[in-house]
Amino acid sequence: MSDAAAATTARSLSDAGICWHPVRYHRRSTLGAAAFDYLSGLATAVGAIVRHRARFVHTRASLTAPIGLLASGLMGRRFLYDADSELSQEYVDGGHWSAGGLRHRLLSSLERVCRKHADGIVVLTDRLRLECRRADVAVPIAVIPCCVDVKRFAFDSRQREIRRAELGIGSGKLLVYVGKLGPRYLVDEAMDFVRAVQRCEKNVRLLVLTQEDPDAFHRLARNHGLAEIVTVTRAAPQDVPAWLWAADAGLALIRSSPSERGSSPIKISEYLAAGLPVVTMPSIGDISAIVESERLGVVIRSTTPADYEGAAETLRDLWDGQSETRRRCAAWAGANLSLEDVGVPRYSQLYQTMLSGAAPLLHPSGAAHE
Same domain, 214 and 331: yes
Same domain, 130 and 167: no
Mean pLDDT is lowest, of 105-114, 334-343, 357-366, for 357-366
Q: Which has the closest alpha carbon to 201: 189, 193, 213? A: 193
Same domain, 48 and 174: no
Region 195-221: mean pLDDT is: 93
Do the domain assignments include residue 13? Answer: no
Same domain, 183 and 328: yes
More confident site: 267 or 202: 267
User: pLDDT tier at 31 (50, 70, 90 boundaries)?
Assistant: confident
> What pLDDT was estimated at residue 203?
92
Do the domain assignments include residue 172? Answer: yes
Same domain, 175 and 295: yes
Same domain, 207 and 66: no
> What pLDDT was estimated at residue 1?
64
> What pLDDT was estimated at residue 370?
29
> What pLDDT was estimated at residue 358?
55
Region 252-256: mean pLDDT is: 96
> What pLDDT was estimated at residue 29?
66
Same domain, 171 and 73: no
> What pLDDT was estimated at residue 360?
42
Ramachandran bin of 240, using left for φ above 0, alpha for ψ from -120 to 50, beta for the remaining angles: alpha
pLDDT in tens, 162-171: 999 999 998 8
Q: What percent of the chain has pLDDT over 70?
A: 96
> What pLDDT was estimated at residue 3?
75
> What pLDDT was estimated at residue 56?
92
Q: Is the pLDDT of residue 247 over 90?
A: yes
Same domain, 43 and 188: no
Q: Is the pLDDT of residue 363 over 50?
A: no
Do the domain assignments include residue 101? Answer: yes
Do the domain assignments include residue 37? Answer: yes
> What pLDDT was estimated at residue 32?
81
Same domain, 178 and 326: yes
Mean pLDDT (the chain) is 91
> What pLDDT was estimated at residue 361?
45
Number of domains into which the chain is organized: 2
> What pLDDT was estimated at residue 4?
80
Do the domain assignments include residue 5? Answer: no
Do the domain assignments include residue 1? Answer: no
Q: What percent of the chain has pLDDT over 90?
A: 73
Same domain, 208 and 87: no
pTM of the model: 0.90
Do the domain assignments include residue 55? Answer: yes
The boundaries of the domain holding residue 130 are: 20-147+340-357
Measured between alpha carbons, how far apart are the two ends of the chain, in Å? 42
Q: Which CATH number characterizes residue 105's domain?
A: 3.40.50.2000
Same domain, 350 and 316: no
> What pLDDT was estimated at residue 74?
95
Same domain, 25 and 143: yes
> What pLDDT was estimated at residue 355?
87
Measure CA 345 to chain center: 19
Do the domain assignments include residue 364? Answer: no
